């Protein structure tokens, strides 16, 4: 059935390219008639593509709903899923709408220094693949936070579970806000007051196929959504290249005056090579080693070798899309520099850089292709939402319901799967409500991602660092280390306050996670040497 759906999507894409070739007619300046005047809207064909995409997602969820699934099938896919598919799922999950819109905007506004992030990926593959994953795959767990209790006590497990739930609920709320406020509301030409209703529709569709099909449905839809992500970026690049007469017309020949100057190390710059690469390495290590969404996918495979393929597939896909979106940013910068009249009224090329990708969809793409790219943006959001909901459901079930005896661990049956589905719906409802408050937070999408979404990522990893690599770690030392890490990451993320009111030198928020990890890795082990609490060493209870 999934193969049939994929064939249908492929046929639709082919049809769209054929129709696009028929409707694009260039004016003497090389630009198509469709972009001759600003203020486009989605057409009937665009809506047909979007509706088809939504029906396919629901169909996949329904397909897996009809399959007989145990609790382990629902949460972990039976621990025997294909590594490449799971790797694409991990990539699509972590590469949300925030990234899909933020990277082109970052390239437009601040320039190529953002590419420094990719340098960290090989080191991530080495550290996570050969030190973290083999450790995790030896454990017979459903929730990553079971490990924290065995090593450091119940309070640390609860702390880890709560940090994760708070992190991912805020993350999903920002994703819905970015998708609705930055993409759908402008494309639909609606007032921002309609955002809650549009968010509700997006959330309900995601909830239905996630609650129906469990992790198998999540992975299947993530793979399809990941492919659409690739297609959306490629389409934008191809169309700009066509309009402008070749790649050389939009490829920069010098360093733009508004871009951040290149520097290996400068803590006062918003981004430097060292700060960007260290922040990316710290974030990836933190996420891959402590986030239930990543660990859940490792555990869905057979062994450590398969889990490493999951990680490597995710990193490769992330690199390719990152480079594509960087090119999208360069292409859009050149396109709107030549045709500034196509910007929306009051829109600035630099200050509104995050919105230019969305603007190009309606003024630069032929009918049909606009719908496909919008489907790509929806794909980025829905893949992250579905995986986030599924992982939060897994943590609540294992760390709260089963841990405190509200249900016997390992029990199966339709009635127990229904409980997971009910929890998924509750999580989705909470996320929808919180998304309405995101607009009150200042900053562009990249700022929101680092200052809010990633605020708790490294403090959460610090708990696992203590459990995995510090033999003498105690629950008390872990708590003090976590509090110290939280203090550091909050202080640096909102350093602008100290800079404005106390005249302290500027410090980029990119340093927040690396310095948080350093402080937590020093304070936690040192405090654990104090004769307070105990170091528990019963990991053998979880090792096969």
Reported as a single tens digit per residue, the pLDDT across 41-93 is 677 888 888 788 777 766 766 666 655 444 444 444 444 455 666 666 667 66
Q: Coil, strand, or helix at residue 348?
A: coil
Neighbouring-strand partners of residue 132: none
pLDDT > 70 fraction of the chain, expressed in percent and rounded: 72
Rounded Cα distance between 111 and 272, Å, is 11
Of the pLDDT bands very low, low, confident and very high (cuts 50, 70, 90), residue 100 is confident
pLDDT value, residue 484:
97
- Is 106 a domain residue? yes
| CATH number reported for the structural domain that contains residue 118 in this entry | 1.20.1730.10
pLDDT of residue 95 exceeding 90, the answer is no
Of the pLDDT bands very low, low, confident and very high (cuts 50, 70, 90), residue 207 is low
- Is 522 a domain residue? no
pLDDT of residue 201 exceeding 50, the answer is yes
Of the pLDDT bands very low, low, confident and very high (cuts 50, 70, 90), residue 342 is confident
Reported as a single tens digit per residue, the pLDDT across 382-395 is 767 776 777 788 77
- Is 16 a domain residue? no
- Is 432 a domain residue? yes
pLDDT value, residue 11:
37
Q: Closest Cα partner for 330 from 521, 115, 146, 161? A: 115
pLDDT value, residue 307:
85
Highest-scoring range by mean pLDDT, 139-148, 157-166, 198-207: 157-166
Rounded Cα distance between 478 and 464, Å, is 9
- Is 5 a domain residue? no
pLDDT > 90 fraction of the chain, expressed in percent and rounded: 23
Highest-scoring range by mean pLDDT, 416-430, 454-468, 509-523: 509-523
pLDDT of residue 527 exceeding 90, the answer is yes
pLDDT value, residue 250:
94
Long-range contacts of 278-281 (CB under 8 A, 24+ apart): 278/120, 278/510, 278/511, 278/514, 279/117, 279/450, 279/510, 279/511, 279/512, 279/513, 279/514, 280/116, 280/117, 280/118, 280/119, 280/120, 280/121, 280/124, 281/120, 281/123, 281/124, 281/514
How many folded domains does the chain comprise? 1
pLDDT value, residue 24:
42
Mean pLDDT within 226-237? 80
Q: Which residue has the higher pLDDT, 413 or 457?
A: 457
pLDDT of residue 378 exceeding 80, the answer is no
Cβ-in-10-Å burial (0-12, 13-18, 19+) of 78 comes to: middle
Reported as a single tens digit per residue, the pLDDT across 268-298 is 888 999 999 999 999 989 988 887 778 777 7
Reported as a single tens digit per residue, the pLDDT across 460-505 is 999 999 988 898 999 999 999 999 999 999 999 888 878 777 888 8
- Is 523 a domain residue? no
Rounded Cα distance between 268 and 261, Å, is 12
Q: How far is CA 370 from the centre of its chain?
A: 23
Cβ contacts of 195 within 8 Å, gap of 6 or more = 177, 180, 181, 185, 436
Q: Which residue has the higher pLDDT, 387 or 8?
A: 387
pTM of the model: 0.78
pLDDT of residue 161 exceeding 80, the answer is yes
pLDDT of residue 26 exceeding 50, the answer is no
Mean pLDDT score across all residues of the chain: 77
- Is 262 a domain residue? yes
Containing domain of residue 393, as a range? 81-442
What are the percentages of helix, strand and coil residues in the chain, rounded to 5?
75, 0, 25
- Is 459 a domain residue? no
Cβ-in-10-Å burial (0-12, 13-18, 19+) of 210 comes to: buried
Reported as a single tens digit per residue, the pLDDT across 108-138 is 998 999 999 999 999 999 998 888 888 888 7
Q: How far is CA 475 from the centre of its chain?
A: 31
């Amino acid at each position: 059935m999934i193969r049939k759906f994929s064939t249908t999507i492929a046929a639709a894409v082919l049809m769209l390219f054929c129709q696009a070739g028929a409707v694009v007619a260039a004016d003497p300046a090389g630009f198509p008639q469709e972009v001759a005047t600003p203020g486009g809207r989605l057409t009937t064909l665009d809506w047909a593509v979007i509706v088809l995409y939504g029906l396919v997602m629901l169909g996949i969820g329904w397909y897996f709903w009809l399959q007989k699934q145990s609790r382990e099938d629902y949460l972990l896919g039976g621990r025997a899923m294909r590594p490449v598919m799971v790797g694409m799922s991990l990539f699509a999950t972590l590469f949300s709408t925030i990234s899909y819109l933020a990277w082109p905007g970052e390239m437009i506004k601040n320039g190529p220094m953002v590419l420094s992030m990719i340098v960290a990926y090989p080191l991530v593959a080495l550290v996570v693949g050969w030190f973290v994953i083999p450790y995790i795959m030896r454990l017979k767990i459903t929730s990553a936070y079971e490990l924290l209790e065995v090593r450091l006590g119940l309070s640390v497990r609860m702390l880890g579970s709560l940090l994760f739930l708070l992190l991912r609920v805020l993350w999903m709320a920002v994703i819905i806000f970015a998708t609705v406020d930055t993409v759908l509301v402008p494309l639909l030409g609606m007032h921002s007051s309609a955002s809650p209703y549009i968010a509700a529709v997006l959330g309900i569709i995601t909830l239905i196929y996630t609650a129906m099909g469990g992790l198998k449905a999540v992975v299947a839809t993530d793979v399809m959504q990941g492919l659409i992500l690739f297609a959306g970026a490629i389409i934008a690049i191809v169309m700009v290249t066509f309009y402008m007469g070749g790649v050389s017309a939009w490829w920069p020949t010098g360093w733009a005056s508004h871009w951040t100057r290149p520097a290996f190390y400068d803590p006062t710059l918003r981004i430097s090579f060292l700060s960007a690469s260290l922040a990316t390495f710290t974030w990836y290590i933190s996420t891959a080693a402590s986030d239930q969404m990543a660990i859940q996918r490792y555990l869905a495979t057979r062994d450590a070798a398969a889990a490493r393929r999951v990680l490597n597939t995710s990193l490769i896909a992330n690199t390719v899309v990152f480079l594509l979106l960087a090119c999208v940013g360069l292409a859009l910068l050149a396109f709107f520099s030549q045709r500034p009249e196509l910007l929306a009224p009051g829109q600035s090329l630099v200050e509104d850089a995050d919105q230019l990708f969305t603007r190009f969809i309606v003024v630069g793409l032929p009918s049909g292709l606009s719908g496909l790219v919008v489907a790509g943006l929806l794909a980025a959001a829905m893949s992250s939402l579905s995986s986030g909901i599924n992982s939060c459901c897994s943590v609540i079930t294992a760390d709260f319901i089963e841990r405190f005896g509200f249900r016997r661990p390992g029990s199966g049956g339709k009635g127990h799967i229904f409980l997971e589905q009910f929890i998924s719906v509750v999580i989705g409802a909470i996320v929808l409500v919180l998304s309405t408050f995101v607009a009150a937070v200042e900053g562009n999408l990249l700022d929101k991602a680092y200052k809010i979404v990633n605020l708790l990522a490294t403090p959460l990893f610090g708990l696992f660092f203590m459990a995995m690599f510090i033999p003498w770690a105690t629950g008390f030392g872990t708590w003090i280390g976590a509090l110290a890490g939280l203090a550091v990451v909050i202080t640096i993320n909102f350093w602008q306050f100290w800079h404005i009111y106390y005249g302290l030198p500027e410090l980029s928020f990119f340093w927040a996670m690396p310095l948080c990890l350093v402080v937590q890795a020093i304070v936690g082990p040192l405090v654990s040497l104090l004769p307070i609490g105990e170091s528990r060493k019963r990991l053998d209870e979880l090792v096969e």
